[in-house]
Amino acid sequence: MTTSFSCLPIVDVGALKEGPLSEGDTQSLSTELYSIFATTGFAYLVNLPLSFDHTEIFNVAKEFFELPLAQKMRLAKTSFRPGNINTYRGYFPIQPHLASDNLKEGFEIGSPNLDHAAPVTSKTSKVVLSEPNVWPSQDIFSKQARLEQMHSELQAFAAKLLSLLAIALGKDPAFFSSWLVDSLSTLRLLHYPPVPLSPTKYTNEDEVKLSCTPHTDSGILTLLHQDDTGGLEVLNASGDWVPAPYVPSSIVVNIGDLMAKVSGGRFTATMHRVRAPQPKLPSVGYGRFSIPFFFEPGENCIVGNFDDDKEGVVYGEHVRKKMSTWVEFLEDSGYDTVSTEGN
């Protein structure tokens, strides 16, 4: 159950940088993570086992989003550019014709190591979850290899966190290892442009201008890099939106719906939203950049229930069901492709 927290806990995961964890670190970290995921469902992690810092990862995002729109549209999912064949990976543009509280563009990649030989197709959806990544040509975007490396490191980090959760649950540390096979984990670069505010805004809580509407993440575990723009807020059990401001050198971790479900409610998927970045703040000339990494099992993985007497969920079926509600995956986006094609 989410609790009436007023700020998010900070967990030092520095012990994960070294080789095998000591018995003491294993116990203390697994207990701490378990209790966080059972209460706030959200925390900051610091002292990360990653080879890159905020400056580097946000420079990669900036290099991508500064490409001309026509170049980014070459990588657009087929729902935004019908001539393209990519359905799950690639670019999605800002969609101003939809609700203005979902103003964001994004670029998504999957694992560089995924085997694309036998894509699974579905009778009800055209989306190929295991399709290869799409990339800008190397002469205009130099960071493909580095971004793939970041994906691999975040995947390894998520696997370590899952192993600690398994221990906290009293299971074998490898309890979640089948979830790593053919993993569909997604690294998503996000850019929210600044949104002009009228002076009357913020007089009433209902009028808060958002660029990401309240939601829970759909999957297992999210590792989020956010820049120092601010705006992320997390809902507590009393119905208050608690700010989750920028903490230098940290990432935010949170639990998704599927994990909450298969944990039999032991873990909580907490609602969150993002306030629109305002152009009047000097630091938000670009708007907000954030980079969630969604840990996802393989398409055919049966995500087993922690309680052995309850049925598991096939991950591919779960994600296709959820997808019908995501703005970046509407089957027919209604996007005005003509005005964005260019050269």
- Least Å distance between CB 224 and Fe ion? 7
Phi, then psi, of 54 in degrees rounded to 5: -60, -45
Q: Which does 93 bind (CB under 5 to 8 A by kind): Fe ion, ligand AKG, none?
A: none
Contacts with ligand AKG by CB under 6 A lie at 190, 212, 217, 224, 226, 232, 272, 274, 290, 292
Token representation of residue 128: 């190929």
Q: Alpha helix (H) ranges present in 254-302? A: 257-262
In angstroms, what is the minimal distance from the CB of 152 to Fe ion?
A: 22
41 or 90, CB closer to Fe ion?
41
Decide which of Fe ion, ligand AKG, none touches 210; Cβ closer than 5 to 8 Å per partner kind: none
Note whether 268 and 37 are within 8 A (CB).
Answer: yes
By CB under 5 A, name the binding residues for Fe ion. 217
- Contacts of 317-323 with C-beta under 8 Å, sequence gap 24+, read 318/218, 318/219, 318/258, 319/129, 319/184, 319/218, 319/219, 320/122, 320/124, 320/125, 320/127, 320/129, 322/218, 322/257, 323/125, 323/127
Closest-approach residue to Fe ion (CB): 217
Contact 43, 9 (CB under 8 A): yes
Looking at the Cβ atoms of 43 and 166, the one nearer to Fe ion is: 43
Minimal CB distance residue for ligand AKG: 290
The CB-of-26 to ligand AKG minimum distance in angstroms stands at 30
11 close to 33: Cβ distance less than 8 angstroms = yes
Partner whose footprint covers residue 184, from ligand AKG, Fe ion, none (CB < 5 to 8 Å by kind): none
Closer Cβ to ligand AKG, 293 or 335, answer by number: 293
The CB-of-215 to Fe ion minimum distance in angstroms stands at 6
Query: Is 69 within 8 Å of 342 (Cβ atoms)?
Result: yes
Binding partner of 318, given ligand AKG, Fe ion, none, CB within 5-8 angstroms per partner class: none
Alpha-carbon 251 to chain mean position: 11
Residue 81 contact, options Fe ion, ligand AKG, none, Cβ 5-8 Å cut-off depending on partner type: none
Phi, psi of 32 (to 5 degrees): -65, -45
Separation CA 219–CA 197 (nearest Å) = 33
Given ligand AKG, Fe ion, none, residue 155, with its beta carbon under 5 to 8 Å by kind, binds: none
212 interacts with, out of Fe ion, ligand AKG, none, CB within 5 to 8 A per kind: ligand AKG
CB closer to Fe ion out of 148 and 217: 217
Please enumerate in sequence order all residues whose Cβ is within 8 A of that of 267, keeping only pairs 6 or more positions apart, or say none.
37, 38, 41, 255, 259, 260
CB of 58 to ligand AKG, least distance (A): 12
Residue number, 73 or 224, with CB nearest to ligand AKG? 224
